[in-house]
Structure 1
Amino acid sequence: MCKCSFMLKTGFTLVLALLLGGCTSGEYRSLPYDAWSLNFFAPDYMEVWIETADVVDINERVFRGAGSGIPATGYPRGLSKGIPAHFKGDAKGWFKDPGGKGRYVTGADLPRLVYVRWQSLAEPQTYEAYIEISQSARNTMLKSENAFCGAVGRWKTDYRKLLIVGLAPGGIAKVWLGGPCLKSVEVTRVQGTINPEGPYGGTSNGKHRPLSEESKAYIEKFGIPYGSW
């Protein structure tokens, strides 16, 4: 018999029962594919550090640490150094057809809730958001579509199994659903709140991760385009 241990996690208004350990083998899942992926990205130069992303599926199972670290972004590039003569990126608005970067939430059924806590390095500030995934969004994740896939050079049946979250200054979290061969469609937009504990749960004396020289120079020149997200 599978044994599970539980940990209690408290947010502003929501208490999550965090399931530690496996208890998913043999259980029914409604997915027509092996797993869906939780992906993140940030606008150009608006650098982000994800402290944690936790998922609650429709069976009320919690998957802690489903996301963390540096999300995808256009600029600065990963290997760029110093301050460029011309800034090629634009922080205003969201990317068209975003894909993000992340990993598969193995063993989870369709998502009901995503909790994410992140450092917005551009400000700096620490935010958290509770993102409810609607039934209509879950229906979209189950709908197959015939699409031409450039990666393999042929038509194939695909699903929107990428749950993509864009994180922007001001605590904005916007969500899309996409597929490897399908364009992303908007799902919802959430206004997050400031996490009262600060960065790293209050263990860093209020110090956030450092912003890169390139992003810092961009913000000093153009500012942070609040209201564009």
Structure 2
Amino acid sequence: MNRLKCLCALCLGLVLAGCAHGVGRLLPYESWRLGFLAPNYMEVWIETADAVDIQGHVFRRAMSGVAAIRTPPHFKGGPVGWPANPSWGAGKDVHGADLPRLIYVRWQSLVEPQTYEAYVEIPEVTRQLMIKGEMAYCGARNKWLTDYRNALTIGLAPGGIAKAWIMGPCLPPVEVSRVQGSVVRVGPYDGTSGGEHRPLTETSKAYIEKFGIPYGSW
């Protein structure tokens, strides 16, 4: 209930702020994408990811479920740190939304296990970059074209770390922010599962038992 009140209060503030800025902008693309990823073996389950745009519109469960992750066999992949060029992650297009202003995400970190929540604010400078067209060479099409950073990707790591980037199909990623989330005291699924998290796969479980969790690397 406290989280719901907090989100509602934030949304009200965003609506008022949106009114102060006038009418919304026309995006140079149909929609922007919200995606999630996790470090190798550090499995997560996204209970909900809610998006709030600059007009104060709330898109509940804009994304949920698994985040993009690699779990190579025989421990042939390290989870330390974030890649220089992160993938778009597992995600969906947020249709009907203006530019994002806030992302609320609640997720289960299965390797600990622990449930976290975080508020990722998208600053104005980032939104300006999302609608700025840039010339880029697109290898997939073998030509130069005007591209946009219309994908917002959030990495979720043990300890409640959430790190965000924006990127485009042919443009390099730009870091948005790094947020320290907080523990959800009632546990997974808003306390309705009796404290039971989703199960960890055997591959990730074996990695954790052998190498542990590299806290502080994200």
Q: Would you call these one fold, judging by a TM-score over 0.5?
A: yes
- How far did 1:13 drift? 7.1
Gaps of 5+ in 2: 12-22
Q: Is 2:35 the counterpart of 1:39?
A: yes
**Superposition map of 1:184-223 within 5 A:** 184-223=173-212
- How far did 1:12 drift? 7.7
Q: Give the equivalent residue in structure 1 for 2:3.
A: 11
Q: Is 2:84 the counterpart of 1:88?
A: no
CA contact (8 A) 2:38 2:155 kept: yes
In the alignment, the residues of structure 1 paired with residue 5 and residue 116 of structure 2 have an alpha-carbon distance, to the nearest angstrom, of 15
**Superposition map of 1:41-190 within 5 A:** 41-76=37-72, 84=73, 86-98=74-86, 99-190=88-179
- How far did 1:201 drift? 1.0
CA contact (8 A) 2:89 2:153 kept: yes
CA contact (8 A) 1:30 1:110 kept: no
TM-score by length of 2: 0.90
Amino acid of the residue matched to residue 136 of structure 1?
V
Amino acid of the residue matched to residue 210 of structure 1?
P
Question: For residues 173-199 of structure 1, what are the alpha-carbon distances to aligned partners after superposition, in whole Å with 9 as ceiling and x for unaligned?
Answer: 000000011111111000000012211
In the alignment, the residues of structure 2 paired with residue 114 and residue 178 of structure 1 have an alpha-carbon distance, to the nearest angstrom, of 16
**Cα-Cα RMSD:** 1.8
Question: For residues 17-40 of structure 1, what are the alpha-carbon distances to aligned partners after superposition, in whole Å with 9 as ceiling and x for unaligned?
Answer: 78xxxxxxxx85431111100010
In the alignment, the residues of structure 2 paired with residue 202 and residue 42 of structure 1 have an alpha-carbon distance, to the nearest angstrom, of 24
CA contact (8 A) 1:45 1:91 kept: yes
Amino acid of the residue matched to residue 97 of structure 1?
N
CA contact (8 A) 1:148 1:155 kept: yes
In the alignment, the residues of structure 2 paired with residue 35 and residue 174 of structure 1 have an alpha-carbon distance, to the nearest angstrom, of 22
Instruction: State the identity as a percent.
Output: 62
Q: Give the equivalent residue in structure 2 for 1:227.
A: 216
Amino acid of the residue matched to residue 38 of structure 1?
L
Question: For residues 144-165 of structure 1, what are the alpha-carbon distances to aligned partners after superposition, in whole Å with 9 as ceiling and x for unaligned?
Answer: 1111112222111110000010
- How far did 1:96 drift? 2.1
In the alignment, the residues of structure 1 paired with residue 172 and residue 212 of structure 2 have an alpha-carbon distance, to the nearest angstrom, of 31
TM-score by length of 1: 0.85
Q: Give the equivalent residue in structure 1 for 2:18.
A: none
| Larger helix percent | 2
Gaps of 5+ in 1: 1-8, 19-26, 77-83
